[in-house]
Amino acid sequence: MSQKWRMATREVHAGEARIKPENALTTPVFQSSTFTFADTADLARFTEARRHGASGARVEYGRYGNPTVAAAERKLAELEDGESALLFSSGMAAISLVLLSFLSQGAHVVMTDDCYRRTRQFLGDFIGRYGVDSTVVPVGDYGALESAITPNTRLVVTESPTNPYMRIVDLPRLVSIAQRRHVRTVIDSTFATPVNQRPLRMGIDLVVHSATKYLGGHNDLLAGAVIGSTDLLAQVRETQSIIGAVCDPHTAYLLIRGLKTLSLRMAHQNRVGLAVASFLEQHPAVQRVYYPGLVTHPDYTIACEQMDGFGGVVSFELNADLKATCQFVDTLRIPYIGPSLGGAESLIVPVALASYSDYSPEDRAAIGISDTLVRLAVGLEDADDLIDDIRQALDCMLT
Ligand SMILES: *Cc1c(COP(=O)(O)O)cnc(C)c1O
């Protein structure tokens, strides 16, 4: 029913019961690990229905589901135009349990590079120990993608926009290659959100999010989500019911609350992201800016075709060295220094120190992470205040 509504209306109303317990306006936090039965006949009816795959919304135990979590899942499914959604305790739990659900010994995965570092670790060293092989291909090289697919390839795993270079994958093109070879596709769409990009409509099979970022939106929760067909999600649900890593009901409540303002927040972060990127591009202390909404970005054309906005993350390199880059970051007054993105408070990190501190300067250079690369995730502050702050810190570098 709510599929007819536009995004902002779905954010507020979708997935939640119209009339809630005690006529509360908000969906309550069902802080309960167990859900009980009136009598043994009730229990027998439940187990019988479940045996026929029709237990409906009813759950018996928190690892198999929770009504607050289920409301958040229904809302997310509607926002992504998917049949079903499943929430997890973190984005990495979502990604790793989705991959575990579809891979077994001897399977092969193709992954585009510039993916979230922990995802690359999971698909590399970690799952390699269980006999799963993976090939990494450069984002934007569709010939390499196609030739990397073998008869054993079960999944093509991608991310768009990427971190930290904000590369954009041509999703219809990736989907057509994978479909021709009968391989399923998974995208980490965390940086885009369903406001800026709807991968399922472009033929992607499964969309994964770190809900910790824009979806939660307030830097106060950790959660992950996967959205896709009910069939595929049933397999992931089965994995989750064995392994756990479930989203707790209070987190689901915070997520429902955060999702109600997703469009409002994204409109602001899209606008401020572009304003900050455009400002940075013309400042003499800045060497290069990576933001897909800039015409100078290599993927600008694809970004305009498949996205409705470019988000609040801007990466840039300074005309400086690591020390001066750190001084720049320390001179800023508004952004906090720390990882993550998508919340109310702007966050900034010198990438060399944050995500790649265990690499030697030579190894960082080899994978193209410059010492002066900075990632700024704009929050909900005023654009002019942020730009003024960045200007004063950049101007310090010129004197
Ligand atoms: C943060 C992030 C993750 C991991 O999510 P967690 O909620 O921290 O586990 C995965 N992918 C991307 C793109 C992210 O930004």
236 within some domain: yes
Residues 25 and 113 in one domain: yes
Instruction: Give the distance (Å) from ligand 1 centre to CA of residue 91.
Output: 5
Residues 308 and 242 in one domain: no
Residues 215 and 134 in one domain: yes
- Which residue, judged by its Cα, is nearest atom 4 of ligand 1? 91
Task: Look at residue 369 in the predicted model and tell me its pLDDT.
Answer: 84
Q: What is the mean pLDDT of the chain?
A: 95
37 within some domain: no
Q: Which CATH number covers residue 10?
A: 3.40.640.10
* Annotation says 165 is catalytic: no
Catalytic one of 188, 248, 299, 371: 188
Task: Answer with the one of 210, 243, 259 that is the final residue of a domain.
Answer: 259
Residues 166 and 102 in one domain: yes
pLDDT of residue 56 exceeding 70: no
Residues 122 and 210 in one domain: yes
Q: Is the CB of 164 under 6 A from ligand 1?
A: no
* Annotation says 260 is catalytic: no
Residues 239 and 287 in one domain: no
Residues 253 and 347 in one domain: no
**206 confidence band (pLDDT: 50, 70, 90):** very high
Lowest mean pLDDT among 139-148, 269-278, 349-358: 349-358
Task: Look at residue 356 in the predicted model and tell me its pLDDT.
Answer: 75
299 within some domain: yes
**Sequence-separated contacts (24+) of 118-126 with Cβ below 8 Å:** 118/92, 119/92, 119/95, 119/157, 119/159, 119/188, 122/92, 122/95, 122/96, 123/99, 123/157
Instruction: Render pLDDT for 168-201 as a digit per residue (tens, 0 to 9).
Output: 999 999 999 999 999 999 999 999 999 999 999 9
Instruction: Give the distance (Å) from ligand 1 centre to CA of residue 145.
Output: 24
47 within some domain: no
Q: Which domain holds residue 126?
A: 2-30+66-259
Residues 303 and 180 in one domain: no
45 within some domain: no
* Annotation says 363 is catalytic: no
35 within some domain: no
Task: Answer with the one of 232, 259, 286 that is the final residue of a domain.
Answer: 259
Catalytic one of 10, 75, 116, 120: 116
Q: Which CATH number covers residue 369?
A: 3.90.1150.10
- Which residue, judged by its Cα, is nearest atom 1 of ligand 1? 210
Q: Is the CB of 372 under 6 A from ligand 1?
A: no
Residue 258 CA neighbour count, 13 Å, CB half = 26
Cβ atoms of residues 7 and 195 within 8 Å: yes
Residues 112 and 234 in one domain: yes
Q: Is the CB of 91 under 6 A from ligand 1?
A: yes
Q: Is the CB of 90 under 6 A from ligand 1?
A: yes
β-pairing, 153-159 vs 108-112, is parallel
277 within some domain: yes
* Annotation says 336 is catalytic: no
Q: Is the CB of 347 under 6 A from ligand 1?
A: no
Residues 276 and 243 in one domain: no
Residues 255 and 276 in one domain: no
Instruction: Render pLDDT for 272-299 as a digit per residue (tens, 0 to 9).
Output: 999 999 999 999 999 999 999 999 999 9
Instruction: Render pLDDT for 60-84 as a digit per residue (tens, 0 to 9).
Output: 999 999 999 999 999 999 999 999 9
57 within some domain: no
Cβ atoms of residues 58 and 36 within 8 Å: no
Instruction: Give the distance (Å) from ligand 1 centre to CA of residue 92.
Output: 6
Residue 254: phi, psi to the nearest 5? -65, -35
- The H-assigned helical ranges of the chain are 7-13, 40-51, 67-79, 91-102, 117-121, 127-128, 142-148, 171-180, 193-196, 230-243, 249-259, 262-281, 300-306, 322-331, 351-354, 361-366, 383-398
Task: Look at residue 55 in the predicted model and tell me its pLDDT.
Answer: 60
Instruction: Render pLDDT for 232-269 as a digit per residue (tens, 0 to 9).
Output: 999 999 999 999 999 999 999 999 999 999 999 999 99
Say how many domains are in the chain: 2
Cβ atoms of residues 303 and 290 within 8 Å: no
Share of the chain above pLDDT 70, in %: 98
Residues 351 and 387 in one domain: yes
Residue 120: phi, psi to the nearest 5? -65, -40
Instruction: Give the distance (Å) from ligand 1 centre to CA of residue 154.
Output: 23
Share of the chain above pLDDT 90, in %: 89
Q: Is the CB of 224 under 6 A from ligand 1?
A: yes
β-pairing, 286-290 vs 133-137, is unpaired
Task: Answer with the one of 242, 259, 276 that is the final residue of a domain.
Answer: 259
Instruction: Give the distance (Å) from ligand 1 centre to CA of residue 283.
Output: 31
Task: Look at residue 135 in the predicted model and tell me its pLDDT.
Answer: 97
